[in-house]
Amino acid sequence: MHFRYRQDQQSVLKEYHQPRRIEAFFSRYKRRFGSFRSRIGTKRCREVWVKILVLNILIVAGDQAEEELKVAG
């Protein structure tokens, strides 16, 4: 890893920070929605995908509102 870092710092740093971003997303997911409600596999999978979709929509809406406040102010 150190050899790769010395050869191409940007690539290694980009790869290194990916897990942190993923963990942050799932932490936000768990804080927002808590545990699963469905017990059956297909329903649980559908529940997770819907919650991820809703969370992504909320994140985008929040970012857009923040941008509008910056432009207005």
How far is the C-alpha of 15 from the C-alpha of 49, rounded, in Å?
Answer: 25
Residue 53 is predicted with a pLDDT of: 93
Amino acid at 36: F
Q: Where are the domains of the chain?
A: 1-34, 38-73
Segment 2-15, tens digit of pLDDT = 777 778 888 777 77
Segment 26-38, tens digit of pLDDT = 888 888 888 778 8
73 Cα distance to chain centroid: 28
CB 1 within 8 A of CB 13: no
Please indicate whether residue 41 or residue 15 has the higher confidence score (pLDDT): 41
Q: Give whole-number Cα distances, 33 to 20, 26, 37, 59, in Å.
A: 20, 10, 10, 14
Q: Which two tokens stand for residue 1?
A: 């890893």
Q: Label residue 54 by pLDDT band (50, 70, 90).
A: very high
